[in-house]
A = this chain, B = another copy of it.
Amino acid sequence: MPASTFTGKLDIHKGVTVSSAEEPCPDVKEFTARLEASLRKWQDAKLRGVWFRVTVNHVQWIPILAQNGFIIHNAYGDTITMCRWIQRDEANRIPNYAHNMVGAGAVVINEKNQVLVVQERYRDRPYWKLPGGYVDPGEDIVYAAQREVLEETNVRTEFESLVTVRHSLEAVFGCSDLYFVVRLRPLTSEITKQDVEIDNAKWMDVDEFLNHPEVHDNNRLFVRKCIENKSNGIMMGRDTTFHPITQKPQALYYITKVSS
């Protein structure tokens, strides 16, 4: 009797995905036979990418998948995803999983020409820095900057412009690191430190910030660029629309305004 095969779910890229939660097969010997029969079936059907989503309770699949040419593509929560390109006469066209951390920071300047700054709790020296942090999964970048300002200082803000993008290589977790600095207009002024990670928060005169010994060069540059753009009447604006192909929410950032 030929071994039974996995059903999986087909996708529009001629790929197939098998989930251990939906097609459990705890016996290692049976799994091996079923995998080999499935690979033959999918090769004959001219499929391309084969994906296995394995939950932590079915990890015995993983070394067998590895022996059959699968590599780990990504994993989070309780699921590990492995993949293999099964057409041997074609190059593997599966993109790498995400490998760039993304953060957002804010330049918030009030009508007294003071910039909103914070001191982090866990640090070697008492640096004053712009509020900011990592963008959450599925979160909009500007929303993330506003959320961080609110969490760290309780100041509510609205978007004015994108000031700078920084891309650093060789950052945390072996990833690269993108940091978006946006200018936000304060809608409230009273500071209430919320976040346990923040020791101190205050409005500091912009001139003091630009000359303060305990301010990092990148932060100084972000504020300087912000002021420069404003005095030149130029900004990087933002359009929120929908992606023309996927119809998912998208934000576009580009130079939008030149007033002279």
Contacts and interface: CB of A to CB of B under 8 A. Distances in A.
B102 A168 contact: no
Contacts of A75: 72, 74-75, 80
Nearest to A72: B75
Nearest to A243: B168
Contact of A63 (B56, B136, B221, B254): B56
A141 interface: yes
B173 A98 contact: yes
B63 A62 contact: no
B74 A76 contact: yes
Nearest to A96: B137
Interface in A30-58: 56-57
A232 B258 contact: yes
Nearest to A180: B165
B95 A171 contact: no
SS of A interface (majority): mixed
Given A78-B66, A98-B98, A98-B175, A165 B252 contact: yes
A134 to B, nearest CB: 5
A225 B93 CA distance: 31
A232 B176 CA distance: 33
Contact of A72 (B78, B217, B229): B78
Contacts of A235: 255
A6 to B, nearest CB: 19
A77 B196 CA distance: 36
B74 A79 contact: no
Interface in A94-152: 95-102, 122, 134-141
Contact of A250 (B167, B196, B249): B167
A198 interface: no
A196 to B, nearest CB: 7
A254 B225 CA distance: 8
A73 interface: yes
24 contacts: A13-B122, A59-B60, A66-B78, A74-B75, A96-B136, A100-B178, A102-B176, A102-B178, A137-B176, A140-B169, A163-B254, A164-B252, A164-B254, A165-B254, A166-B250, A166-B252, A168-B250, A216-B244, A218-B252, A225-B254, A229-B255, A232-B258, A234-B255, A260-B260
